[in-house]
Structure 1
Amino acid sequence: MSDKSALTAEDVATMLHVSKSGIYGLIKKNEIDHYKVGRKIRFTEAHVRDYIERSKTAARAAVHPIPTALDESRYFDLSMERRKEAGFIICGQDLILDVLSNYLRMQGVMALRAYIGSYDSLVSLYQGRINVATAHLWDSLTDDYNVPYVRSLLPGIRCAIVNVTYRMQGLYVAKGNPKHIESWQDFARDDIAMINREKGAGSRVLLDENLKLLGLYGSRIKGYENENQSHLTVASAVGRGDADVAVGNEKIARQVENVDFIPLKKERYDLVVKKEDVDTPEVTAMLNILRSGKFQNEFKNIGGYDISDIGKLIVET
């Protein structure tokens, strides 16, 4: 990707799959560099690369070096290209997918990564814009992960759902938990301010489903409309004291200073492919890698992952 100047806030919002107001929020918090032309705010692609790199540095440090998030060899912007003109696109935001794409490229598969949340990932698979979706979407009615959403968001399409890992989801709170936050009910407290994930993220869905069960409305929760697109960023906001609580996974909490983790739900993180693609060379290679001892050894000593079912077929819809 060549450096370009004069990117607008709207351009950057499209690249990062966040709202335009979210970009101005990053500027206000000094989390993304920019420059001004008169009174207008502008960015370069280097600014965007630096922001994504900072957001992922802690996660990448746990495993052997991985290329930067906007390296053209691995980053795929769904708003800029059509799938057929790109390569084998794996959608999702976990470190394990970055390592998987590296293994695929070593086997000659042009693996690219699209960093969007679970809901939009499944929609993109339905629209034929990606090859592999990933999801960790909890359904309160069935107490199941992902299967109800695949059936709803990919109607009439046969899919294979394969496990990647199990992770513990819960609450990020300040070190020592000074406000004694323990459960979903605490979001209704007047003295609690949260920071939220973007619509469609698995953590956001988990929160919303539990709020629904409690009869609570998100619009009445302080900070509910304050959205960000990564676990690392919301955990960092809690660590800095900009918010009292956020929802995310345990692995990230171990990487951020001044943050404690309250475990609430063991989630299943799965990848989803169309059944008609299961026997293609790319998907076959991907499944073989997931099931290989060499790949699994990458994650055996990293906290926050339960890979006991990695590569296992959960269900065919």
Structure 2
Amino acid sequence: MKQVSIRPVWTIQDPSGPVLPARLIELLVHVAETGSLLQAARQLAMSYRRAWDMVREGEAQFHAPLLAMERGRGSKLTPLGARLVWADKRIHARLRPVLESLSSELAQELGDALREAPAALRMQATHGFAIERLIERLSQDGLTLAVTYGSCAAAAAALREGKCDVIGMHIPLGPIQALALQTYAPWLKGLPLTLIDVATRRQGLMVRPGNPKAVLALADLARPNVRFINRQAGSGTRLLLEGLLRAQAVAPTEIAGFEHGEYTHAAVAAYVASGMADVGFGLETPARDFKLDFVPLATERYFLLCRDQLMSTPAMQTVLSVLREPRFLKSLAGLPGYDATGAGAVMPLSQAYPGLGDGLG
């Protein structure tokens, strides 16, 4: 099956004026990372003169500087340049799972048109960093995958309806677990399913460096000076947060920004890091990636589910082999907040969660 990759490109222009140079935003992103226009130009395989001309063209269009150049001290983004870079990071963080799902769909369509063999495994999963690495590794090993990212509920429904072979989802540990099981039971209860552990992961509050608003608990979200960014309604993370708030008697209506939701953990982190919110709720990994502080509040179990009869297939045996491989486990150990100690453990869903083991057929 062909590999399809889709990357977002955004343009800026005045109604009747020139378009911002096509690679200027990319150049500014590299300047932010390297602190040098020269190094950024080298990374993009362009001449220093071309990079300098692009910056000047952009500054002429905005009528404002994008870079501050200091002899011997490299290049520094101006507030406007930094705003453009953060906008680009938010775009990529928000769209990445959507574009990966669309890429997989297009690859399948091309495969059908070319009469290639179908994907060995159809997977639908809620997005996370361990599952992302697992999918990447399986693809590198030659296993053809058709991947769709979405909510836990959508994945569970797809599995019951036979629209996918395996799903990736997460269930919180502790008292909120019952709420999650009740939510997903209509799709999972009574099915002959096998659970394969991937990792546990920590969810909590993402706050700006130094935690300037001193947000240390969920009750602090209700303070009038705290701006919050949520995950989208219907996501497993939103469900977890709502359960935690209910347990602590914190009303969502008291939280400024509660109804504003982003579609990925990374997008929440980027939103906070760019200064558009004081705090968000999500995974520790993107919080650390965006240099944010993190207040852990809950631990979740991320796992795969498939019908029992699929376990003996070569595709699922490949999945198990990768999950148990020391080199892969080491890669997961590098993800902040993740613990893959039990990766590759297999058990019936009815054993892991007895309440899902009987009832519907």
How high is the TM-score relative to the length of structure 2?
0.62
1:118–1:135 contact (8 Å) kept in structure 2: yes
* Residue of 12, 33, 53 corresponding to 2:10: 33
Counterparts of residues 272-283 of structure 1 (less than 5 Å): 272-283=305-316
Deviates more, 1:222-231 or 1:130-139: 130-139
Cα deviations by residue, 1:32-57 (Å, 9 ceiling, x for unpaired): 73689x9xxxxxxxxxxx98983289
Q: In structure 2, do the counterparts of structure 1 residues 114 and 224 end up closer, same or farther at CA, with 3 Å as the change threshold? A: same
Displacement of 1:132 in angstroms is 1.9
The alignment of Structure 1 onto Structure 2 pairs a total of residues equal to 264
1:195–1:224 contact (8 Å) kept in structure 2: yes
Over aligned residue pairs, what C-alpha RMSD do you find?
3.7
Cα deviations by residue, 1:120-164 (Å, 9 ceiling, x for unpaired): 222222222222212223377564696555534323312122211
Q: In structure 2, do the counterparts of structure 1 residues 70 and 153 end up closer, same or farther at CA, with 3 Å as the change threshold? A: closer
Task: Determine the structure 1 residue equivalent to 2:131.
Answer: 97
Displacement of 1:204 in angstroms is 1.1
Displacement of 1:262 in angstroms is 0.7
Displacement of 1:105 in angstroms is 3.2
Query: Is 1:69 the counterpart of 2:100 in the alignment?
Result: yes
Counterparts of residues 285-296 of structure 1 (less than 5 Å): 285-296=318-329
Counterparts of residues 132-281 of structure 1 (less than 5 Å): 132-138=166-172, 141=175, 143=177, 149-257=183-291, 259-281=292-314
Structure 2: tracts of 5 or more residues without a match: 16-87, 111-116, 351-361
Cα deviations by residue, 1:78-102 (Å, 9 ceiling, x for unpaired): xx99xx9655232231232233223
Which has the larger helix fraction?
Answer: 2
How high is the TM-score relative to the length of structure 1?
0.70
Task: Determine the structure 2 residue equivalent to 1:55.
Answer: 93
2:152–2:235 contact (8 Å) kept in structure 1: yes
Query: Is 1:303 the counterpart of 2:336 in the alignment?
Result: yes
Query: Equivalents in 2 of 1:135, 1:182: separation in Å?
Result: 28
Query: Equivalents in 2 of 1:56, 1:223: separation in Å?
Result: 17
Deviates more, 1:294-303 or 1:226-235: 294-303
Paired AA for residue 281 in structure 2: V
**SS of 1:207 mapped into structure 2:** helix
Displacement of 1:228 in angstroms is 0.8
**SS of 2:100 mapped into structure 1:** coil
**SS of 1:299 mapped into structure 2:** helix
Paired AA for residue 281 in structure 1: P
Query: Equivalents in 2 of 1:174, 1:51: separation in Å?
Result: 16
Q: In structure 2, do the counterparts of structure 1 residues 218 and 34 end up closer, same or farther at CA, with 3 Å as the change threshold? A: farther
Displacement of 1:240 in angstroms is 1.6
Structure with the greater alpha carbon radius of gyration: 2
